[in-house]
Structure 1
Amino acid sequence: MSNPPLIENCMTSIDVSIEQVDIKGQYVQLAAPIHLLGQLNISELRAQYLVNAEEGVEQTPLQVGVDEAGRGPLLGSVNVAAAVLPAAWSGLIERQPLKNTPLSILTDSKQLSEKKRDVLYPLVQQHAIGCVVAEIPAAVIDQVNILQATMLGMRLCTEVLLEEIVKHLITDRIETSHTASQMKHHAQIQVLYDGNRCPDLDYAMLDEIGIKKSAIDCQAWVKGDARHTSIAAASILAKVSRDKTMYALDAEHPEYGIAKHKGYPTRAHMEAIGTYGVLTAHRRSFAPVRKALEN
């Protein structure tokens, strides 16, 4: 029997620009907007993660992987990505859930060549249930520091993706009130962050859209991009999207050699700063850039 055709407009785009954030009840005006871009496969989301509670079927846990790229460079954004893979593809890499899938070579992006990352990037976008990438610009990094900027990116990616997921589950044919109740009481969502800490999510906002705090299990995994498929997928999206912005900057400022060093503090990069000065995209709060401005 052939597979049924996908419903029309099964893919919806995610395009959000955030200029203010609510941090512990206080609105903070960001020094520059944070842009989040992504997509959601509505038909696959409903097919794999929406279960009618009346059938007594246990719902498949929805696993979100989150990772970042670009904490160390002196130049440009830090990029954060979140990804939800098909249920059968989610899990520990060592258990090989990706065997014989289009993402079979997926692992920690740092362990892959740039060529392999570039091959995987569109495949992750094509096969993920949902994904979103946030670019946190240098101005915001300077405003709140690199750790907080990264945590903010992780938080926003998680919230924006979950909000989009819930929106499309609740608009299914099942009664809205029934589905919202189902999300509150039956959904189990694992959010897996690469690193040693989880961001502080806006649980009040999540509760308003139908996700109780008790339904979300946030976990921090050191070197998680080499352990979980969903984090590995997010690592590809974050790394390649950031590289794309670096190549765009290189085209604007070829004298800085950005395509080679990607903004990291190499000797060639430091010499270029000394010769040509500091760009708008440089992170002025980072010591080498700050010293260059003082000289």
Structure 2
Amino acid sequence: MQCRENHIIQIERAIEQVDIKGQYIQLAKPIHLSGQLNITELLAQYSIHPTQSLASSTLQIGVDEAGRGPLLGSVHVAAAILPRTWSGLIERQPLKDTPLSILIDSKQLSEKKRDMLYPLVQQQAVGYIIADIQAAVIDQVNILQATMLGMRLCTEVLLEAVAKHLTNIKQDVSNMSDAMKVEVLFDGNRCPDLDYANLNQLGIAESSIDCQAWVKGDARHTSIAAASILAKVSRDKTMYALDAEYPKYGIANHKGYPTKAHIQAIQDYGVLSMHRRSFAPVRKALES
């Protein structure tokens, strides 16, 4: 990014109810979302001049998760918007000679490199958001639906913040589809069902949003890789906090995954409130 005085807004939301296909569901625990949007860079890159047509502009959002497999703790989902020229296929090296030049799929990086990239992604991203979906919600709706819900909410809340600033740039722009297109790239083999009715009320037409599912997308697209770093490191931070609170469980080592040491710790010390009771090893421990 160019050096300029940036106007950054913080995004903080706690979602207690969700509308799924017209039905409101009270969540067992709130889903907390936090992030930020760099308004200066957003406007500089996607609204250079108020009189300029933006029909060819495409804002790319990458979305990924971390923590679907563990028996313990939250699943974290993140969405990230990188600078336009940094967004693209990793193999084309759009990040060459940038502060994020070593960014690839978080699973291919050492923890040290992930920890180094985490603040860099936050600093360099045009915008990002991270969702924390707790174990109680995972047990309530199942891990797949909890992950899809996190992906949906990250996308919608970030788009809401973007739309607030981009839809008012031109007086003759009635909705975001007249100004620009949005690509939302989800890691995995499916896309969540967005609340298009609500997005339309914000000035974002369904026709302006192109949702794409990319298998192993975190190794293919820079924006998904950036989201992968945010989701993975933010989840690790919660695991280290739990390890400090419950040192006997060895959480810093297994990070909630079903290792032999973790299963043994459950047998020796019992099930914690943050364990996912719908997962078989935890359920069996409770039954025994």
> Is the TM-score greater than 0.5?
yes
- Superposed displacement of residue 50, structure 1: 1.9
Q: Does 1:82 align with 2:79?
A: yes
The whole-number CA distance in structure 2 between the counterparts of 1:153 and 1:55 is 35
Does the 8 A contact of 2:59 with 2:84 survive in 1? Answer: yes
- Superposed displacement of residue 58, structure 1: 4.3
- Superposed displacement of residue 170, structure 1: 3.6
Q: Does 1:251 align with 2:248?
A: no
Deviations 1:100-134 (A, max 9, x none): 00000000000000000000000000000000000
Q: Does 1:101 align with 2:98?
A: yes
Report the count of equivalent residues: 287
**Further displaced range: 159-168 or 231-240:** 159-168
Indicate how the Cα distance of structure 1 residues 280 and 183 shifts in structure 2: closer, same or farther if over 3 A, else same: same
Per the alignment, in what secondary structure is the counterpart of residue 271 of structure 2? Answer: coil
Deviations 1:202-255 (A, max 9, x none): 000000001100000000000000000000000000000000000000000000
Q: Structure 2 counterpart of 1:6, which letter?
A: E
Identity of aligned residues (%): 72
The whole-number CA distance in structure 1 between the counterparts of 2:4 and 2:102 is 28
Please, what TM-score do these two structures have when normalized by structure 2? 0.97
Q: Does 1:216 align with 2:209?
A: yes
Q: Does 1:129 align with 2:126?
A: yes
Q: Does 1:232 align with 2:229?
A: no
Q: Structure 2 counterpart of 1:124, which letter?
A: V
Q: Which runs of 5+ in 1 are unaligned?
A: none
The whole-number CA distance in structure 2 between the counterparts of 1:182 and 1:27 is 27
Does the 8 A contact of 2:118 with 2:230 survive in 1? Answer: yes
- Superposed displacement of residue 4, structure 1: 7.2
Q: Does 1:67 align with 2:64?
A: yes
Does the 8 A contact of 1:81 with 1:237 survive in 2? Answer: yes
The whole-number CA distance in structure 2 between the counterparts of 1:105 and 1:16 is 31
RMSD over aligned CA atoms reads 1.4
- Superposed displacement of residue 277, structure 1: 0.2
**Further displaced range: 162-171 or 22-31:** 162-171
- Superposed displacement of residue 184, structure 1: 2.9
Per the alignment, in what secondary structure is the counterpart of residue 103 of structure 1? Answer: coil
Q: Structure 2 counterpart of 1:151, which letter?
A: M
The whole-number CA distance in structure 2 between the counterparts of 1:208 and 1:20 is 19
The whole-number CA distance in structure 2 between the counterparts of 1:203 and 1:255 is 46
Alignment partner, residue 52 of structure 2? 55
Does the 8 A contact of 1:132 with 1:157 survive in 2? Answer: yes
Alignment partner, residue 6 of structure 1? 5
Per the alignment, in what secondary structure is the counterpart of residue 158 of structure 1? Answer: helix
The whole-number CA distance in structure 2 between the counterparts of 1:291 and 1:280 is 15
Per the alignment, in what secondary structure is the counterpart of residue 168 of structure 1? Answer: helix
- Superposed displacement of residue 187, structure 1: 1.5
- Superposed displacement of residue 290, structure 1: 0.2
Per the alignment, in what secondary structure is the counterpart of residue 55 of structure 1? Answer: coil
Q: Structure 2 counterpart of 1:138, which letter?
A: A
Alignment partner, residue 198 of structure 2? 205
Indicate how the Cα distance of structure 1 residues 182 and 209 shifts in structure 2: closer, same or farther if over 3 A, else same: closer
Alignment partner, residue 291 of structure 1? 284
Q: Which runs of 5+ in 2 are unaligned?
A: none
